[in-house]
Amino acid sequence: MANITVRMTPQVEKHLSDTKNKSAAANQAIECWIACEKVARRSLVGIFTANELKAIIDILNGTVIDYAYAASIQHEFEDACTFDGIDKKWELDKDSTLAKMAKLSLPEWIVLYQVAREFWENPEQDLDEYVRPWGSK
């Protein structure tokens, strides 16, 4: 096994502080997330149209959300429709998109947030190409 040095957020440090073997607890948490992320990534494919995904990525430009509150993306979307016309910009049916969002699990919300963040880490890439593997027809 490889040794690494980890800088922990206060939340992670608190979680690990009650364990006898911090390395084992950290490995377990990471392995659990890897399993959840894998399932969530697969289940998200085809839920949203390409334009819905583009709108989500658009509204999350520069937005920081605590992973525990990743479902607040739904509220970000509602606000962006109301105040910025994001639904008009991307030619979306707001209610249809919100109905899809209402069915997501927390791991799916987290992955959706990660997908948006990953795009904005390299915004030179083509947005149409980026969302193609995720979107429905």
Which tens digit of pLDDT belongs to each residue from 9-26?
Answer: 888 888 888 888 888 888
The type of residue at 31 is: E
Mean pLDDT of the chain: 92
pLDDT digit string (tens) for the chain, length 137 residues: 888 888 888 888 888 888 888 888 888 989 999 999 999 999 999 999 999 999 999 999 999 999 999 999 999 999 999 999 999 999 999 999 999 999 999 999 999 999 999 999 998 999 999 999 987 75
136 DSSP β-pair partners: 49
CA distance 64 to 14: 22
Q: Which residues pair with 49 in a beta bridge?
A: 136
